Amino acid sequence: MEIQSIKNRFGIIGNSPALNYALQVAIQVANTDLTVLIIGESGVGKEAFSMIIHSLSARKHNPFIAVNCGAIPDGTIDSELFGHEKGSFTGAVDNRKGYFETVNGGTIFLDEIAEMPLGTQARLLRVLETGEYIRVGSSKVQKTDVRVIAATNKDLLDATRNGKFREDLYYRLNTVPIRVPSLRDRREDIYLLFRKFCVDFAEKYKTAPVQLDEEAQHLLVNYSWPGNVRELKNIAEQVSVLSTNKQVPAQEIKRFLPEHPEKRLPIVAPGQQGNAEFMNERDMLYKLFFDMKKDVTELKKMFFEIVHNPGSASVASYGRESFLSDFPLLHPDKQESLQPVISGAAQQPMIMPGNAIQEHIEVEESLNILDKEKELIIKALKKHKGKRKDAASDLGISERTLYRKLKEYDIEE
């Protein structure tokens, strides 16, 4: 089935490569019974993908239900999903069927799966592996044939490390991951969506659709959209209702956008592979640069403390000889061979040990990305004693990507 026909059927607007790839995966996996994990920020339309998968599957004539795990209290979620027996807890005045019983043969969409309590996660894992469950307050094992599609806006792999999500359940759910791109990752689609929403609201409120001038379009496209499509739709409705002029200028569109939009750094989505490997490598470099900045800041503080206040407690606790052994060029015996200091600051005199004054000359540091990437991979392997899986996890890339990088850079483990 063509992607465009799916877009028309479900009202999906946009032509970004990331969106098309996510749709292609959804279409391919729909006619199987594989468990699917949909990953994406809040407001990107994860539920629409679950409906696409269900409607294209052999279960399309059977029930479909969407369950928000974060909206159900911990004390009742087991009853909601698996049912309960009369008298099993206070308020259980009758037997009740759970969703896994009422939707038998169909599809359950578990949104915000990261909010599911650990006890319920264990029950869900059993359903996924054996198709069996037990009602609350019962000892009778029941069977069910339900396809599970889960969704999250959090990093489940990170949650497993913190003990907030079961690792075995994560790998069971992550059979087929689908990453729905955020709106700022598909900027070419923003104005198309905005125009569509404005036309819809014009029909709803029986007015002419608003138009944006070129500068206003630029502001719209370059806003960060932390609320994604949901936020864009809300803004479109506000503009449609509150704008007195149907040709909206940039100055007016500013009134509807927050003055300081939230700035976000890219994150690695769990299970992201294939065409998305570029994102993993980019995120790995972000991590490298932040670590380097932190190390340089600490080194500068230590250096100036020793140079300007050699008798301080902090210097004494570290040890002057220890510092000089770590940085031998600072040793008084080697002052004549001291090279210019690397710095990105403005040129200015710097006081060196022995009261020697040397001009601070700016030296170009190597910023070759490949060199830094290789250095970070070697560092991660040393940290984890050659364990590829742990090193890849620490770097934020897949083990397959790490293996390819080891071959590419000819790194011996």
CATH number at residue 58: 3.40.50.300
Could you tell me if residue 364 is inside a domain?
Answer: no
pLDDT greater than 60 at residue 253: yes
Q: Examine the fold and report which residue of 199, 231, 256 is the final residue of a domain before the chain moves on.
A: 256
Return the CATH number at 383: 1.10.10
153 and 119 in one domain?
A: yes
User: What are the CA-CA distances from residue 44 to residues 22, 56, 143, 267, 332 (Å)?
Assistant: 12, 21, 34, 15, 61
Q: What is the mean pLDDT of residues 207-223?
A: 93
The reply to whether 351 falls in a domain is: yes
Calpha distance 53→29 (Å, rounded):
7
- Domain endpoint, select from 150, 181, 212: 181
Please tell me the distance from the alpha carbon of residue 151 to that of residue 107, in angstroms, as a whole number: 13
The pLDDT of residue 362 is: 47
Verdict on whether the full-model pTM lies above 0.85: no
Range of the domain at 329: 302-359
Residues 165 and 313 in one domain: no
- Whether residues 191 and 325 share a domain: the answer is no
Domain identity same for 171 and 188: no
Please identify which residue in the block is written with the tokens 């900027």.
187
Number of domains in the chain: 4
- Residues 61 and 142 both lie in one domain: yes
Which neighbouring-strand residues pair with 358? 350
Please, which pLDDT band fits residue 358 given cuts at 50, 70 and 90? very low
Rounded mean pLDDT, 285-296? 66
The answer to whether position 270 is within a domain reads no
Name residues whose C-beta falls within 8 Å of residue 5's C-beta, 6 or more positions apart in sequence: none
- Evaluated on CA atoms 129, 134, 135, 140, the torsion sign reads positive
Residue 200 tokens read as 């819809």
Asked if residue 249 is part of any domain, the answer here is: yes
Confidence of residue 346 (pLDDT cuts 50, 70, 90): very low
345 and 385, same structural domain?
Answer: no
Q: What's residue 282's pLDDT?
A: 58
Query: Measured between alpha carbons, how far is residue 116 from residues 68, 146, 271, 305 in Å?
Result: 9, 18, 20, 50
Query: 278 in a domain, yes or no?
Result: no
> pLDDT: is 198 or 353 the higher one?
198
- 38 pLDDT above the threshold of 90: yes
Whether the pLDDT of residue 148 is over 70: the answer is yes
Average pLDDT in the chain: 81
- What is the predicted pLDDT for the residue at 311? 59
Mean pLDDT of 155-176: 94
Confidence of residue 92 (pLDDT cuts 50, 70, 90): confident
Question: 6 or 349: which carries more pLDDT confidence?
Answer: 6
- On whether both 219 and 347 belong to a single domain, the answer is no
Give residue 406's pLDDT. 82
211 and 238 belong to one structural domain: yes
Split at pLDDT 50, 70, 90, the class of 354 is very low
Last residue of a domain, one of 146, 161, 181: 181
Taking the C-alpha atoms of residue 70 and residue 52, their distance in angstroms, rounded to an integer, is: 23
pLDDT of residue 57: 96
